[in-house]
Amino acid sequence: MSQITIALTKGRIEKDTIKLLSRAGFDLSFMADKGRNLIFESPDSRFRFLLVKGPDVTTYVRHGVADLGIVGKDILFEHPTGYLEMLDLNFGLCKFSLASVPSYDPHDHKRKRIATKYPTVATDYFNQKGEDVEIISIQGSVEISPVLGLADAIVDIVETGHTLSANGLLVFEDICRGSARLIANQASLKNNPDLMPFVAKIESLVGRREVAFK
Ligand code: PRP
């Protein structure tokens, strides 16, 4: 049997990813006391798990270092090529929203500065509206940028809405939704016969769902 390497996303969707893999019959107790470790091998050596940042999940899968990856659709919107999107896993649900301070007026005719970790999503959104904006790319804690005057508004993902309200921001428009996805390296799917049965097993747990926003 060939080993299967799966790149997992650190952070927001990590807990639910581990839950899903546990439901699939994996005893992931070897990951419980993970400390600072980032590579884990199952005791029978059939599986290897890499714990990396979302954008890097797509990179490891694209280069064939990982056969599979579990990553949020928000990341896939920004890194759309080099892998096959196999399943919508139906957790890590979030939406993309346009948000700002209450005094923001989306309809005034000034050219807006929009801060975001998702420049592709933000650019597509404003292009569709026919609105010319300045996109300011930022790496995180985007919610403080309108408060501090760096930007007029933000395009960001909202899950519980707590970060927005903690920073005094309101949603002005919802843009689209996202959730965690299973992605695969195309050559791995062809060459590793153990991969499709694994994907089928995951699919039987999450149900067949149309992959939205493909
Ligand atoms: C994401 C997102 C929001 C927050 C939304 O940030 O960019 O800041 O989560 O979640 P909430 O609606 O449940 O509050 P992340 O945790 O990835 O941190 P970052 O902004 O530092 O990247």
Q: Specify the pTM.
A: 0.90
> Distance from the CA of 157 to the center of ligand 1, in angstroms?
7
Query: CA–CA separation, 149 vs 195, rounded Å?
Result: 49
What's the gap in Å between 140 CA and the centre of ligand 1?
Answer: 8
| 30-60 pLDDT tens trace | 676 777 788 988 888 899 999 999 999 999 9
Give the residue whose CA is nearest to atom 16 of ligand 1. 12
Q: pLDDT for 133-160, tens place per residue?
A: 999 999 999 999 999 999 999 999 999 9
User: Pocket residues for ligand 1 (CB within 6 Å)?
Assistant: 12, 140-143, 156-163
The C-alpha angle 72, 135, 161, rounded to 5 degrees, equals: 45
Q: Is the pLDDT of residue 1 over 80?
A: no
CA 158 to ligand 1: nearest atom:
12
Helices (H), the chain: 14-23, 54-62, 73-78, 119-129, 144-148, 162-166, 186-191, 195-206
Mean pLDDT to the nearest integer, 78-101: 96
How far apart, in whole angstroms, are the C-alpha atoms of residue 183 and residue 175? Answer: 23
pLDDT at 28 over 80: no
Distance 127 CA to ligand 1 centre (A): 24
